[in-house]
Structure 1
Amino acid sequence: MNKKVYIVTGIGVVLGLIIGYLYYYYIGCASGTCAITSKPFNSSLYGGLMGGLLFNIFVTSPKKS
């Protein structure tokens, strides 16, 4: 794996963490029984995971010749 993979995935993780926290802050869970959005830590981790996976899709691997 090259450096580009880590950079793109890292950007996705950071953006996901931020978006996950913003989701908790502005939308969240009113009753407190939601597993992911009831706590900012859980929401941020889930957002970071999803952001990393999403951005990792856009990294192309070199072709073998």
Structure 2
Amino acid sequence: MLLRATHNFTQDQLADMLEARQTIISLEKEKCNPLITLAFKLAIVFKCRIEDIFIYEGEIHNEKST
């Protein structure tokens, strides 16, 4: 994760801060999406917005009522 490296954190340091060792590894390998609580914690650690860390790539359906 570029953001982690920019802040000079190792995977282990970040995982220890967030108590999420396996999740950090999976996120960096793009094998999973974070829970919203973890996304908020990461944003706090890196002092940025969630949108600065994660890009939503799914579909958004807008349904209009008739």
Q: TM-score, normalised by structure 2?
A: 0.24
Higher relative contact order (CA 8 A, sep 6+): 1
TM-score normalised by length of structure 1: 0.24
Which has the greater radius of gyration?
1
